Amino acid sequence: MTVYGSFPGSRPRRLRTTPAMRRMVAETRLNPADLILPAFVREGVSEPVPIAAMPGVVQHSLDTLRKAAVEAREAGVSGIMLFGVPEDAKKDAAGTAGTDPDGILQVAVRAVKEEVGDELVVMSDLCLDEYTDHGHCGVLDADGRVDNDATLERYAEMAQVQADAGVHVVGPSGMMDGQVGVIRDALDTIGREDVSILAYTAKYSSAFYGPFREAVASSLKGDRKTYQQDPANLRESMRELALDLAEGADMVMVKPAGPYLDVLAKVAESVDVPVAAYQISGEYAMVEAAAEKGWIERDKAILETLTGIRRAGAQMILTYWATEAAQKLGRA
């Protein structure tokens, strides 16, 4: 037999011989505390509304949202990211339902805080897209373009009403220039230096958002390519990262997760703040659809995708499987 290099003395397969051995030498470990549950709450419903494109995910009523928060906490999940779905009649050009102290998101934040207090990190989506009748993440100018600076004024108001509702973390997801700094100033102005900012640092204009549009009953007309990032670009993400950190971001995020693991790894190598990744609706839907067809093993595929995101450098993973995955990991 021809001997190559250090073979037969060096045999990496020795460390793969049994489940116990593989577990002992695993380089990446997934823990329930790594997970954050995104959750939708719909105004005016008494029962959860299934989301057809995301089997197993629903638009919650306030009551079922409370239960989901408790279940997540008991499973060991660290946080819950809330998205409000207002009644269509309350949508307008400025997204005023998003800054109404009694708007659905603020009501949901208060409800979850009443249920779990500080035992679960309560996060809120800070964006106008759910509340505008045109579906964009900001207000429009006379030519129908998203007006960056006018939108920042609305984001400042949103940050303050969400803080007043009791949120621990705000997640500005609109990709407006300067949003982190404006939100930090708005929070500090009302004495809420304790509220953290999870910056959507690299949010790409992705084809994988489709099911989310159903989840939030989006009214979007057109696309978001003038403010979300071009999927072809990595250096641009690093520029966005530097700006967000300079403006006071406490945590940074890459979204989507799976198609952008290279971006995630680069970001994670470059910062000394916590890094998150959002496994988005299309990533979820693909696994569920393939599993329903019998083409993949669902549970193994879920944990493999999450492990890959964790291995790429994410300390926190937003995933619709958060509670389920945490329960499985807790039993492992």
Sequence ranges of the binding site for 5-aminolevulinate: 213, 224, 281, 320
In sequence order, what are the beta bridge partners of 140? 146
Q: Which residues are annotated as a binding site for Mg(2+)?
A: 240
Rounded-to-integer distance, Cα 331 and Cα 325, Å: 10
- How many CA atoms within 13 Å lie on the side-chain side of 3? 7
Q: Give phi and psi for 94, each to the nearest 5.
A: -100, -5
CA distance linking residue 231 with residue 14, whole number of Å: 41
203 catalytic? Reply is: yes
255 is catalytic: yes
Extract the annotated binding site.
Answer: 213, 224, 240, 281, 320
Return d(Cα 220, Cα 208) in angstroms, integer.
15
> How many angstroms separate the CA atoms of 119 and 104, rounded?
22
If you search the block for the tokens 């129908």, which residue do you land on?
144
**Is 86:41 a contact under the CB 8 Å cutoff?**
no
User: Residue 205 is encoded by which pair of tokens?
Assistant: 């204009």
What tokens were used for 288? 């569920």
Task: Report the residue count for the chain.
Answer: 332
The token duo for 282 is: 């299309």
Exactly one of 67, 91, 203, 221 is catalytic; name it: 203
Of the candidates 67, 255, 293, 300, the residue annotated as catalytic is 255
**Residue 59: which of 80, 79, 86 has the closest Cα?**
86
CA dist 145 and 215 (Å) reads 25
**Helices 235-247 and 261-270: crossing angle, nearest 10°?**
40
Instruction: Print the SS3 string covering 137-193.
Output: CCCECCCCCECHHHHHHHHHHHHHHHHHHCCCEEEECCCCCCHHHHHHHHHHHCCCC
Q: What contacts 294, CB < 8 A, 6 or more positions away?
A: none
Q: Give the helix/strand (H/E) hosting 202.
A: strand 196-203
Please list the active-site residues. Answer: 203, 255
